Amino acid sequence: MKSFSAGDLAVIIGGTGGLGAALATALEPDMRVITLGRPELDLTGEPSIAQAAAGLPAPPRLIIIATGFLHGNGFMPEKTFASLSPDHLAHAFAINAIGPALILKHFLPLLPRQGHSVIAAISAKVGSIGDNHAGGWYSYRAAKAALNQLIHTAAIELRHKRPDAICAAIHPGTVDTKLSAPFAKTGLNVRPPATAAAEILAVLDNLTPAQSGGFFDYKGDILPW
């Protein structure tokens, strides 16, 4: 990435997933990369998040939260409100919103006080309230909408404490990973993780502090809240 120097520290949270691993691979020629995921970092356990943050060898210049939950553990996206389950809602919010919020809590203070830095969370276009025309997917939509609000709110606070920093939510599109596999229908633009990673990094590379707090897609276009 042209906006960072060789040796700057990048942290990929969720670096063992398909997209997270691709992001780490894409960054390794230019930056010092640390990937964090289970078991050392558990999104449902704040102590492990705090410990992972405290264990970083240097202040990070780039942090990407590449985690997410859409299906699994017996849960699939809801097609109707009759399928709503408190357990499904709680798990979706724990992974997609509460965990990232705790990452913001423990990792944002580590960003350098001066100079360019970026923290980005992989969100989803279906988390856009303004773009929701199809309905369904209640838990995932609501949890990603919450993530977007958390990112936007953190960016406002960050602007006062680290004015050169950028905090953003990124929609990666449909990527060929386990998360998207059951929903990669014909007609969708399903891209390999390496392609999606390159596109995401290109967007982050071109953001300015004035754009901090925004919600962008993998082309760099602004998405509605």
Note the pLDDT tens digit of each residue in 88-111.
999 999 999 999 999 999 999 999
Crossing angle of the two packed helices 99-107 and 138-161, in degrees rounded to 10: 10
What is the pLDDT at residue 72? 85
Q: What is the pLDDT of residues 25-44, one digit of tens each?
A: 999 988 999 999 988 899 99
Q: Find the helix or strand (DSSP H, E) in which 36 lies.
A: strand 32-36
Residue 176 token pair: 């060929």
Alpha-helix residue ranges (DSSP H) falling in 68-137: 86-93, 99-107
Contact between 213 and 168 (Cβ < 8 Å): yes
Average pLDDT of the chain to the nearest whole number = 94
User: What is the per-residue burial (b if ≥16 Cβ within 10 Å, else e) of 138-171?
Assistant: bbbbbbbbbbbbbbbebbeebbeebebbbbbbbb
Mean pLDDT of 139-147: 98
Range 52-62 average pLDDT: 97
Q: Is the pLDDT of residue 191 over 80?
A: yes
Q: What is the pLDDT of residues 171-184, one digit of tens each?
A: 999 998 766 556 65
Go through the domains of the chain in sequence order and give each one's CATH number.
9-217 (3.40.50.720)
Burial class (CB in 10 A: 0-12, 13-18, 19+), 63: buried
Percent of the chain with pLDDT over 70: 95
